[in-house]
Amino acid sequence: MSPASDRITNFIAGSWRPGRERLDIVNPSNLDELAGSYSLAGADDVAEAVAAARAAQPQWRAATVEQRSLVLDAISRALFDRKDELARIAATEGGKTIPDALGEITRAAHLARFFAAEALRAPGETLGSVRPGVEVDVTREPVGVIGLVTPWNFPVATPMWKIAPALAFGNAVIWKPSEKTPGISIAVTRLIAEALEAHGMPAALFNLVIGAGPNIGAAVVDAVDAVSFTGSVNTGRRIAVRCAERMIRVQLELGGQNPLVVLGDADPERAAEIGVNSAYFHAGQRCTATGRFIVEDSIHDAFVAAMTERMAALRVGHALLPETQIGPVIDEFQLTKNLHYIDTGLKEGAQLASGGGRLDRPTRGWFLAPTLFTETSNAMTINREEVFGPVASVIRVKDYEEALHVANDTDYGLSSGIITNSMKHARHFQANIQAGMTMLNLPTAGVDYHVPFGGRKMSSYGPREQGRSAIEFYTIIKTAYRAL
């Protein structure tokens, strides 16, 4: 059942398989240490996984709601029980601090527990017909085999908010995680397979294929009945086009350039505490992180001073050290991209208030100083595109109306926030911000697990994830007419 060596990487048709090409993952906190050695699946592995999932799904579909609920509950308990072991893997290969990783795994456990209950109350309704002597049943059925393509920044919680509803509502799963975080994907798959087998269900319902996006990810998209994707806009767009060609359903959660408005009536210290939390933890690699602080002129200087003071005290370093608050960025590609954006910001006239370059630490790692730009405009590249690193900008505005206009002047619409004591502005912002999620006096990052998650514009496509909305994607409605 368990992979015998760390090169036995893919879980296909109920058994662990070696892949072909070798995949070495280096610890981003210490480039002299290998975090793990794995192997990549091939396109024929994907075909076999899909065939096995398709063969196993009818038994799962026919299982009682209680049987499905018990499997989800077992997954939840295993996540709670093994959270320390899982957190260490996530920290070693992904650069998350241990508290960050524990928070994520606990959230994933809660997600599985939430969907254990949802499995029991899968809804349906009986209505009267407009025709005499006829009744109408509206019921929900599983979609079939779902392909889940996920990124590296939340390698447990993001997959779990797809895996849990997919299984809860009777589907089989092919999971293609990011090839940057194979170790944690294997550990999560192991506990899911154990939960299925412990309840007499075929482990082939759940398949893990690790590989590069353009070949293995694309092979999954080409073979399944529906695709739920989280990742970048460019990849998402490509997947959506392919799904449209195949006429299968698709759900995309993509990037963001999230605004946090700070109004003049706010307390600058509180605003800075929320601001630092919004932009920099997990090295800014959160799709809901703040990229743009849109700050009213009257509080601008006090806010920037409070931010830079707090930023100077942030402890950036090896993810496994207890004193570390912010770990490295995940890899060289990400670091180079972040540094390129910093350079572009400077070239376009932004001023550095804090950070701006790499940090030396006792171990060689991808450490980047939390960076704050001031004197930026909303037209600058750093404010138009998603940086996805510990980099944020301050945009000075004259009043609330300009702040709202700037906040909405973006291609994205995932999260947003406002810091104010004004009920009038808070209510107006909530009603008029073009974002899927909005926060009052809270960081833009950090959401609950039992309510819908998603965005607008280029940040999302298709039905919402999480909460009671998740059922929309993972089930198909059937309308049945019955003459009595």
Binding site for ligand NAD (CB under 6 A): 149-154, 158, 176-179, 213-214, 217-218, 221, 230-232, 235, 238-239, 253-256, 287, 386, 388, 414, 459
| Residue from 200, 210, 73, 94 nearest 150 by CA | 210
Query: Minimum distance from CB of 43 to ligand NAD (Å)?
Result: 12
**CB-wise, 296 or 386, nearer to ligand NAD?**
386
Query: Minimum distance from CB of 433 to ligand NAD (Å)?
Result: 17
Helix (H) or strand (E) holding 107: helix 98-120
Query: Minimum distance from CB of 155 to ligand NAD (Å)?
Result: 10
**CB-wise, 61 or 337, nearer to ligand NAD?**
337
* CA atoms within a 13 Å half-sphere pointing along the CA-CB vector of 334: 23
Rg, Å, the chain Cα set: 23
**CB-wise, 330 or 397, nearer to ligand NAD?**
330
Distance CA 264, CA 330 (A): 36
Q: How many residues does the chain have?
A: 484
Supply the DSSP symbol for 436.
S
Furthest CA-CA distance within the chain? 80
Q: Are 161 and 76 in contact (CB under 8 A)?
A: no
Query: Minimum distance from CB of 385 to ligand NAD (Å)?
Result: 10
Query: Minimum distance from CB of 180 to ligand NAD (Å)?
Result: 7
User: What are the tokens at 122?
Assistant: 């899968």
Query: Minimum distance from CB of 11 to ligand NAD (Å)?
Result: 16
Residue number, nearest CB to ligand NAD: 213
Distance CA 412, CA 454 (A): 11
**CB-wise, 270 or 340, nearer to ligand NAD?**
340
Selecting among 26, 89, 287, 299, the annotated active-site residue is: 287
Cα–chain center distance at 363: 28
End-to-end CA, the chain:
51
243 catalytic? Reply is no
Write the CA distances from 424 to 305, 401, 421, 428, 430, integer angstroms: 27, 12, 9, 6, 10
CA angle 9, 15, 17 (to 5 degrees): 35
**CB-wise, 326 or 403, nearer to ligand NAD?**
326
Q: Are 124 and 140 in contact (CB under 8 A)?
A: yes
**CB-wise, 137 or 448, nearer to ligand NAD?**
448
CA angle 200, 202, 208 (to 5 degrees): 135
The residues that are catalytic are 287
